[in-house]
Amino acid sequence: MNNIIIYIALFFLMLTLLAGIYRFIKGPSLVDRVVAFDSMTITSLVVIGVIALLSNRAIYFDVAVVYGLLSFLGVIIVAKYIQGGL
């Protein structure tokens, strides 16, 4: 029963990723694209966490932490670029 709920959650997470990809492609401004990219990375972090939970592998959580840190740094760099600081 728990696995069914997890697979349903993964389905909705994939729908969220598709919506983020659509906004990333069709976004009218650079800020919309940055926000879409950030939401896609957060969603993919959750997907990695769910996969780690399903496969009982703790190493995936380490991968998710590193990916989250790199994503955070990327968004900060793009924000500085938009502001004109870079």
1-26 tens-digit pLDDT: 788 998 999 999 999 999 999 999 99
* Count of domains forming the chain: 1
* Distance of alpha carbon 64 from alpha carbon 58, whole angstroms: 10
Domain that holds residue 34: 2-83
pTM of the model: 0.85
Q: Which of 11, 2, 16, 12 has the alpha carbon at shortest distance from 54?
A: 2
Mean pLDDT of the chain: 91
Q: Which of 66, 71, 84 has the alpha carbon at shortest distance from 35?
A: 71
